[in-house]
């Protein structure tokens, strides 16, 4: 047992990275090329969700959960399974978790209608909308900050990082908070995995998914207004 424990201490994050940064970013780039111009539709759906978060309607809460669930299934099948899994066999184990996240969103958010977007401003709502705004508008611009081609932009609804951050944003703003907690687990874990991957590849801005998790947890733990 002690041998096993001492052996684990000898591993470093890069020992688990199966591919080079060049291969990873070319995968993103080729995926963008293959899907263009569907990124625009994905962005439009994201804008629809954001508008529904800002001005909730009686029907919009269930719609938000349904759209996000559809995005989790699409990203799991189209990106993780068909493309990312070709260079990262661990994605075979991640895909079922993405499908589970979609089922949770549909079950709790769409069918039961247990997640609501608050109309009043609060710290969790501000943090949640900020996270969603980042996922929708700023995250695709990260390549410019990281010194990469914009063709490696990761767009909401197409790639897992902005989808997970957007979902964290929705769940940070949602009420009641105890209904949101179970749905935070999978997007939170994905963001941590992504942070480790990007950090191991020494990508500038690797901290973004980690910061999203911290912001979501802070928002959910923020004391209720009296």
Residues that bind other proteins (CB under 8 A): 3, 7, 10, 14-15, 17-20, 22-23, 26-27, 30, 83, 86-89
User: Toward other proteins, which CB reaches closer, 33 or 226?
Assistant: 33
For the CB of residue 41, give the shortest distance to other proteins in the complex, in Å. Answer: 25
CB of 98 to other proteins, least distance (A): 19
Identity of the residue, 63 or 193, whose beta carbon is nearer to other proteins in the bound complex? 193
> Dihedral of CA 49/50/53/57: which sign?
negative
Using CB atoms within 10 Å of the CB of residue 21, give its burial: 0 to 12 exposed, 13 to 18 middle, 19+ buried.
Answer: middle
Report the nearest approach of other proteins to the CB of residue 83 (Å): 7
Nearer to other proteins, 3 or 58 (CB): 3
Shortest CB 14 distance to other proteins, Å: 8
- Residue 18 or 51 with smaller CB distance to other proteins: 18
* Nearest-angstrom CA–CA distance, 180 and 65: 11
- 137 class by beta-carbon count within 10 Å (0-12 exposed, 13-18 middle, 19+ buried): middle
């Amino acid at each position: 047992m002690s041998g096993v424990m001492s052996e684990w201490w000898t591993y470093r994050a890069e020992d688990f990275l199966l591919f080079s940064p060049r291969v990873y970013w070319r995968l993103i780039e080729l995926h963008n090329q293959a899907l263009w111009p569907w990124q625009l539709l994905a962005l439009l759906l994201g804008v629809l969700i954001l508008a529904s978060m800002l001005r909730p309607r009686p029907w919009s809460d269930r719609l938000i959960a349904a759209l996000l669930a559809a995005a989790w299934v699409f990203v799991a099948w189209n990106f993780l399974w068909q493309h990312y899994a070709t260079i990262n066999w661990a994605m075979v184990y991640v895909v079922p978790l993405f499908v589970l996240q979609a089922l949770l969103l549909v079950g709790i958010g769409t069918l039961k209608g247990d997640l609501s977007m608050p109309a009043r401003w609060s710290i969790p709502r501000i943090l949640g909308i900020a996270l969603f705004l980042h996922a929708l508008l700023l995250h695709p611009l990260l390549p410019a900050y990281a010194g990469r081609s914009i063709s490696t932009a990761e767009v909401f609804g197409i790639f897992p990082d902005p989808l997970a951050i957007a979902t964290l944003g929705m769940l940070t703003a949602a009420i009641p908070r105890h209904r949101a907690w179970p749905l935070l687990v999978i997007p939170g874990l994905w963001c941590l995995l992504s942070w480790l991957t990007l950090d191991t590849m020494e990508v500038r801005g690797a901290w973004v998914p980690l910061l999203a998790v911290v912001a979501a947890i802070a928002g959910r733990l923020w004391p209720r207004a009296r």
